[in-house]
Structure 1
Amino acid sequence: MTAATTMDPTDAYPGYLACLADADEYAAIDVALGLLDAGVPPERVLLDLVAPAQAEVGERWARNEWSVAQEHAATHISERVVAAVAAHANPRPTGGRIVVACMDGEWHALPPRLVAEVLRLRGWQVTFLGASVPAAHLVSYLHRHDAQAVALACALPMRLPHAHRMIEACRRSDVPVVVGGRGFGADGRWAARLGAAWAPNAPAAAELIADERALRRVPAAQLGHLADDEYASLVRRRGELIDSALTDLRERVPATREYTAAQLDSTVSDLGHIVDSLAASLYVDDASLFTEFVGWLVEILTSRGVPASAVALTLEHYAAVLRDFPRASDAVARSRAGLPATPRSGG
């Protein structure tokens, strides 16, 4: 494949996506560098070529069109492309230090890497800490280095309780925070609930960071509902809930008793995600977080041959064992409304 000669990243997009599909790292880099040589600004190459291609990579994995291995290979290539674009641009910092990191337990590092490079292109001195940075380590770094702001990324809503702890840890270090990523909701509504400044994209993050007064002028977190102890109680019962749901599935779906070790691990992981997403919905007091997660999980599983009834059975089980959790019960009931009825157990 030859390097792009167009000056429009959208025209180069199909060829770039084909490079990712073919796992052709060198051709992908040639496409990006060809755009730069044609006069396309580096920021446009990152945001109009690499970012949408990575979103499509995620969609192809979700539709079970690409394996995990293919998704990882494509992501690695895009990371190499970002590095090549950054090396080609090689800007010199004129502003203060900005620290960019993923939340603890968050492994989707490419989107915040794009934010970091956009900030760098706009003159900031950027330190990118990468995926899954523990809060204590982030705070230690901030104490050693004088940062003007921290940009934190979260792709999974189930990580919001951890995100809040990291946000508060940064604030105690007197460093303002801007957050982004799908984990805070498409409109940033869960960022507002946590009392954090939210940016929908890299340019918006750059503009917000440039206005320190706006970055610090954020309403307080709205978490008074945590006084009812539902969230804390659910988290304490996490292991018990996963075990009881697995036992229930084995009793009601005999085929699960013959699962391989890999199938069993995947099932336990999915059950854990269900509990964690329910806990996160309690943390921000928004049942839509859980219903959206359930809808997404059903799409993922059905694309892999697992019927929606498997999720419906688990939610039916949780509806029974969480009767004394009014907010959790409401979220479970709402999510069950869009699923097929579960079959009656024999007896």
Structure 2
Amino acid sequence: MSTSTPPRLPRPGHAEEPAELLWRAVSAGDECVAIELVLGLLDEGADPESVLLDVIARVQARVGEEWAAARIGVAQEHAATAINDRAVAAVSMHPAARATADRGRITVACVDGEWHGLPARLLAEVLELRGWQVDYLGAQVPTPHLIAHLHATRADAVALSSSIATRLPAAHAAITACQAIGVPVLVGGAAFGPEGRYAKLLGADAWAPDARAAADHLAQGRLPRPEADHQQFDDLPHLADQEYTLVARNRASLVRSVCTALEDAFPAMRSYDDLQRERTAEDLAHIVEFLATALYLDDDELFTGFITWTARILVARGVPARSLPPALDLLARELKDFPRAARILRAGTRSLTIAPFTAAGNIA
């Protein structure tokens, strides 16, 4: 069977693109129409991989974009994701998607704490189409259970997926554990940064930006098995200062302290109702979690990217983003004895001041 990239789905000029048609069905919550569409494409001879990646994956990316822009809510985003997941399952059951497993065995899983399972599911289906025997373990796989599975199956490689950067410490633990038993690791997902910068830092054997690229990489040959001592945690010497450990361990108390002080630094918060206060605390918890991850990687850009993204999300929802700089300042006061944390928080504040503010105090 062929292991190279198959041709992408043709886009006839006289009809709407399949991805647009699927988007309409998914955004309307119409699972039946969505399934009929993808099965119809396969019945007409469309390549299964192209249906997965050029139609379903494109629509799923749009779901995320629409949520970020506040054009759909959380419930609609979850419903759309569920329909896309069932569309993937429908493709996998179609006769056109049957393939002979003759290339080896690979485990596909999300790192512990990563609940976005659809990207990994898409990769698992593409690898099966390319001739791999795939064990798809789904979302949030604890590392000890992953290792037990690898011992039982003797997989040739592991493909680990993560979309949220705060799961990178868990990803590091999983990468190290897999390599310690001689199993090479390919990683992918937005968590690993632009061009996979964090994949290299955390010692992964390979990185791919998407499912098609991952399958192409594996088609070039099996990943070499690492030596037993291939990766050690002392590859991140900055962790010796314990800032990551202390911030991560004291996240709850940091959030409480900043929440309490924020009413004086940001007087508008005094009029917040209980739900608004709860959401503010959730936002602060995310800020502290991303700060901890930036400390783990010693990477200011991870934090500044998250802060500017958070500002855009708040603005899209009509929430004043001007509360972010005082929150970062209060957090810096709490961590005044942590030089790396202070540096990262200053960088976050600078990234917000670069963006212009509207008359209402929101970032433009």
Contact 2:112 2:142 in 1 (8 A): yes
Q: Secondary structure, in 3 states, of the residue corresponding to 1:339?
A: helix
Q: Summarize deviations over 1:246-271 as a string: whole Å, max 9, x none.
A: 11123334553554444333222211
1:232-247 paired onto structure 2 within 5 Å? 232-247=245-260
1:198-230 deviations in Å (ceiling 9; x for gaps): 111112212333423457599987412212222
Question: In the aligned structure 2, how far is the partner of 1:135 from the partner of 1:48?
Answer: 32
Flag the 1:92–1:264 CA change in 2: closer, same or farther, 3 A. Answer: farther
Within 5 Å, give how 1:175-214 maps onto structure 2: 175-196=183-204, 197-210=206-219, 211-213=221-223
CA distance in 1, matches of 2:40, 2:226: 40
Q: Of residues 125, 135, 141 in structure 2, which corresponds to 1:117?
A: 125
- The 2-side partners of 1:81 and 1:92 are apart by 22
Corresponding residue SS for 1:107: coil
Deviation at 1:241, TM superposition (A): 1.1
Letter in 1 for 2:147: V
1:104-253 aligned at under 5 Å gives the runs 104-196=112-204, 197-210=206-219, 211-213=221-223, 216=226, 222-253=235-266
- In 2: Cα distance, 1:72 partner to 1:236 partner: 31
Deviations 1:296-339 (A, max 9, x none): 11111121122111111210112222222222111111111132
The equivalent residue for 1:91 is 99
In the alignment, residue 128 of structure 2 is paired with which amino acid? R
Give the % identical residues: 48
State the SS of the aligned residue for 2:160: strand
Q: Distance in 2 between matches of 1:57 and 1:140?
A: 35
Specify which of 321, 326, 332 is matched with residue 308 of structure 1.
Answer: 321
User: 1:36 aligns to what?
Assistant: 42
1:49 counterpart residue number: 55
Deviation at 1:143, TM superposition (A): 1.8
- Output the amino acid matched with 2:222: E
How far the C-alpha of 1:102 sits from its partner, in A, is 0.8
- Give the unaligned 5+ runs of structure 2: 1-8, 358-364
Does the 8 Å CA contact 1:36/1:42 hold for their aligned counterparts? yes
Secondary structure of 1:132's counterpart equals: coil
Which residue of 295, 298, 303 maps to 2:308?
A: 295
Aligned residue among 319, 329, 334 for 2:347: 334
Query: Is the 2:266–2:326 Cα contact (8 Å) retained in structure 1?
Result: no
**Alpha-carbon distance between aligned partners in 2 of 1:174 and 1:306, rounded to the nearest angstrom:** 49
Task: Tell me the distance in 2 between the aligned counterparts of 1:212 and 1:261.
Answer: 54
Partner of 1:320: 333
SS in 1 for 2:194: coil
Measured in 1, the distance between the counterparts of 2:22 and 2:344 equals 41
Q: Retained in 2: the 8 A contact 1:178–1:209?
A: no
Structure 2 SS opposite 1:128 = strand
1:8·1:40 contact (CA, 8 Å) conserved in 2? no
CA deviation map 1:34-66 (0-9, x unaligned):
221222210011111111110110010011100
Do the aligned residues in 2 keep the contact of 1:100 with 1:116 (CA within 8 Å)? yes
Secondary structure of the 2:252 match is helix
2:176–2:231 Cα contact (<8 Å) kept: no
C-alpha deviation, 1:145, in angstroms: 1.7
Please tell me whether residue 8 in structure 1 is matched to residue 11 in structure 2: yes
RMSD, matched Cα: 2.2
Deviates most, 91-100 or 81-90: 91-100
Normalised by the length of structure 1, the TM-score is 0.91
Unaligned stretches of 5+ residues in structure 1: 1-5, 343-347
